Amino acid sequence: MSKSLEILKKYWGYSSFRPMQEEIIMSVLNGRDTLALLPTGGGKSVCFQVPALCMDGLCLVISPLIALMKDQVNHLAKRGIKAVFIHSGMKFKEIDLMLDNCIYGDIKFLYLSPERLKSDLLLERVGKMNVNLLAIDEAHCISQWGYDFRPSYLEINNFKKLLPTSKLIALTATATIRVQDDIINKLEMEQAAVFQKSFARKNLSYSVFQKENKEQKLIEILNKVPGSAVVYTKSRRKTKSIADLLNQNRISADYYHAGLSNQERNKKQENWIGNKSRVIVATNAFGMGIDKADVRTVVHLDVPDSLENYYQEAGRAGRDEKRAFAVLLYNPGDIKELKDQVETSFPAIEAIKKIYQGLANYFKIAVGSSYLESYDFDLENFSKAMGYKPFEAFNLLKKLEDLGLIQLNDGFHQPSQLQISITKQDLYKFQIENAPLEPIIQSVLRLCGGEIFSNYVTVFEDQVARLARVAKTEVIRILNQLGTQNIIHYIGQKDSPQIVFLTPRQDASKLNIDKRKFETRKQVKTTQVEAIVKYVLTLNRCRTRVFQEYFGEATFNNCGSCDYCISQKNKSGVSARQIEAEIIKVLVDKPRSISFIGSIMPKTREDVLIDAIRQLLDKEQIRYTKTGLLERV
């Protein structure tokens, strides 16, 4: 454990682990298959990154989203740890070289999407890698009973058999008991050590309000609660209109959604993280991988489609362990719309086949081709060309994704990559014979160094342009020209959303769609919607307990801070402080049982009494004796 603490201090600057991290890390280092359930902000990544750094070799991380992989690789790079990720926008030669570096170089982390696990190139190379740990991030995706099922996650079990000596850890923030069991079974985890941090967040107060005028209530909330905030809405258009409304009411706000350019998204995100904007109004594309601990309020203007999603998004508030608020605003129309979406999100099988054929026509893809090929994808243009409404096309495409046929990726910024394909001697001869190209070639060499002859390196065309004293457009033109002459291998920067074909293109009329599995997924979705609707409409239960019970955590304590608990305290006519003072009086002479305290205070409801006892325990004003009685400290 001392080595783990040294690594934590060296790379993260902390002298101790968060609760449960140490136990998870020791489980991994002791060679046990490990399942870790840590809520949003609980430090899941440290639980596999630290043990991987304790051991020789490479950690292979399976992760479902490019944005998550990119964020983690960037975070590791900032700490001086070598990490790479393979994504759909990369070319064969680039991937080939990266895998070689994982075998022969000093790469410590390789991030992959689960769809990559069937790639012949990866399967050929992975046996030559010294893989010390296989980490499965967002492990709930392996379960058809989960809220974000990815069929490609089912490939992991076969893949891990290629790594018989590697340790295994699966991680997720939210999983019901059924999903936990599914993860263990699907991954064939032997005698799995399961670590689950409580789903109760003591510092986070949950509230739900039925409001026709949500915007007015939002302004009221933000005026009452100072500090940084996130406001979630499902509509891209509404992100801007709500941000404008807040600014008109002297609340500094900006908006964010996946339809903005990468440059715009980065700037808005950085301004909010740096507190130049107090409020960010966003779709759920915002928040993953963002390390901002001081968010005081998260407000949802629309009802999320599952308790899992809501718990994760609301949990972005109060990661600094200080008081924070999660508020959900709704009206009866929202509930009806959410229930209707279950039907619209499960279209007829013939409609799914039709849009698959439409994709093949749009990109001119022949049957049997395009396995793991990616294409820049504009939903608006595709919908218009194929005669769909955008929301209709999106629902159909999501079904193709659920079936494991395609993958939809939001746009992310990947800078240009470049490698010189010929020797230094041949390049020198080429420069002499092509003098007009020499300023740009020399500028690239000065900026990128000798590594460019053996590896792909990042190249920024504007920097080359300044050094060579030519226009950026001219740099791009010449780099493309050198690529066609096989002098270099040049991959221009990418910002666009992409669509990836996860299988060779099939004959649409013969698509094998299992109707039984299709109906199972529909039932799962229906159950999830029923659960979030029940949460919204519940008036007589502690909201934290609703989360805990949904995720299978046994509890008898109310949180004391949600809208229900506060309303019950107000109804009692006695303040929490008065109840706590009365408990202290009961314990003045000797330790007592909870039932005895209840008998002395018969007018105090049991849940209010238990909450007051919990508060006193937290304040360390009382404690349990070895025999289970309560006594004053």
Same domain for 128 and 251?
no
The answer on pLDDT for 489 being more than 80 is yes
Tokens of 377: 């994808």
Q: Is residue 533 part of a domain?
A: no
Residues contacting 60, CB < 8 A, separation 6+? 110, 112, 126, 129, 131, 133, 134, 135, 163, 166
Strands 324-330, 295-300: pairing kind? parallel
- Comparing 92 with 129, the larger pLDDT belongs to 129
Residue type, 405: L
What is residue 168's predicted lDDT score, i.e. its pLDDT? Answer: 95
Domain annotation covers residue 545 = no
Please report which confidence band the pLDDT of residue 394 belongs to, taking 50, 70 and 90 as the band edges. confident
For 580-619, write each residue's pLDDT tens digit. Answer: 888 999 998 889 988 888 888 877 777 678 778 878 887 8
Q: Which residue is it, tokens 């629902």?
A: 395
487, part of any domain: yes
Find residue 458's DSSP bridge partners. 417
Same-domain check for residues 219 and 292: yes
**Amino acid 570: pLDDT:** 63
Q: Is the per-residue pLDDT at 7 higher than 70?
A: yes
Q: How does residue 365 score in pLDDT terms, banded at 50, 70 and 90?
A: very high
- Structure confidence at residue 59 (pLDDT): 96
- Segments forming the whole domain that contains residue 353: 340-413+497-525
CB environment 592-629: b (16+ within 10 A), e (fewer): beeeebbeebeebbebbbbbbbebbeeeeebeeeeeee
Q: Are 83 and 109 in contact (CB under 8 A)?
A: yes
| Contact in structure between 338 and 309 (CB atoms under 8 Å) | no
Residue where one domain finishes, among candidates 196, 228, 259? 196
Are 60 and 187 part of one and the same domain? yes
Whether 626 is in a domain gets the answer yes
Strands (E), 406-555: 406-409, 417-420, 457-458, 488-491, 498-501
Q: What is the pTM of this model?
A: 0.77
Q: Which helix (H) or strand (E) holds 309?
A: helix 307-314
What total number of domains does the chain contain? 5
- pLDDT for residue 138: 92
Q: How far apart are the first and last CA of the chain?
A: 33
Return phi, psi of residue 372, to 5°.
60, 20
What residues contact 121, with CB distance under 8 A and at least 6 apart? 92, 95, 96, 99
- Which residues, 6+ apart, have CB-to-CB distance to 392 below 8 Å? 383
pLDDT at residue 573 tops 70: no
Residue 523's Cβ-count burial label (10 Å; 0-12, 13-18, 19+) is exposed
Final residue in a domain of this structure, among 169, 196, 223: 196
CB burial of residue 575 (10 Å; 0-12, 13-18, 19+): exposed
Strands 279-282 and 228-232, how do they pair?
parallel
In a domain, 11, yes or no: yes
Is the pLDDT score of 429 beyond 80?
yes
Average pLDDT over residues 370-391: 88
Q: Note whether 267 and 407 are same-domain residues.
A: no
Given 330, 349, 369, the domain boundary residue is 330
Task: Determine, yes or no, domain membership for 440.
Answer: yes
Q: Is pLDDT above 80 for 285? A: no
Average pLDDT rounded to a whole number, residues 174-192: 92
Region 217-243 average pLDDT: 94
How far is the C-alpha of 238 from the C-alpha of 241, rounded, in Å?
Answer: 5
Give the CA-trace dihedral at 507, 508, 510, 515, to 10 degrees: 150
Q: What is the DSSP letter of 494?
A: B
Q: Verify that 92 and 28 share a domain, yes or no.
A: yes
**pLDDT surpassing 70 at residue 47:** yes
In a domain? residue 541: no
Q: 229: helix, coil or strand? A: strand
Q: What is the domain-level CATH number for residue 602?
A: 1.10.10
pLDDT at 412 (0 to 100): 60
For 199-229, how does the pLDDT look when each residue is reduced to its tens digit (9 = 90+)?
999 899 999 999 989 999 999 999 999 999 9
Angle at which helices 390-402 and 379-386 pack, to 10 degrees?
A: 100
- pLDDT (0 to 100) of residue 495: 67
CATH number, position 136: 3.40.50.300
Q: Tell me how far apart the alpha carbons of residues 629 and 342 are, in angstroms, rounded to a whole number.
A: 50
Phi/psi of residue 467, nearest 5 degrees? -70, -40
In this structure, are 226 and 257 located in the same domain? yes
pLDDT reading at 437 higher than 70: yes
Mean pLDDT across 58-79? 89
- Segment 469-491 mean pLDDT: 89
pLDDT at 413: 63
Task: Tell whether 34 is covered by a domain.
Answer: yes
Collapsing DSSP to helix, strand or coil, 576 comes out as helix
Examine the domain organization and report whether 264 and 115 are in the same domain. Answer: no
Share of the chain above pLDDT 90, in %: 49
Average pLDDT value for the chain: 89
Say what the pLDDT of residue 83 is: 95
> Are 421 and 408 part of one and the same domain?
no
Q: Are residues 124 and 62 in the same domain?
A: yes
The answer to whether 242 and 281 are in contact (CB under 8 A) is yes
491: closest CA among 474, 502, 476, 501?
Answer: 476
Is there a single domain that holds both residue 375 and residue 454?
A: no
Calculate helix-pair angle for 236-248, 214-224, nearest 10 degrees: 50
Indicate the range of 270-279, 464-473, 562-571 predicted with least confidence: 562-571
Within this chain, do residues 280 and 427 fall inside the same structural domain, yes or no?
Answer: no
Confidence of residue 456 (pLDDT cuts 50, 70, 90): confident
Give the number of other Cβ atoms within 10 Å of residue 544's Cβ: 25
Q: Which residue has the tokens 């936990």?
A: 180
H or E element that contains 464: helix 461-468
User: Does residue 569 surpass a pLDDT of 80?
Assistant: no
Q: Determine the pLDDT at residue 416.
A: 85
Instruction: Say if CB 433 and CB 422 are below 8 A apart.
Output: no
Q: pLDDT at position 289, please?
A: 65
> In terms of domains, do 151 and 178 share one?
yes
pLDDT over 70 at 574, yes or no: no
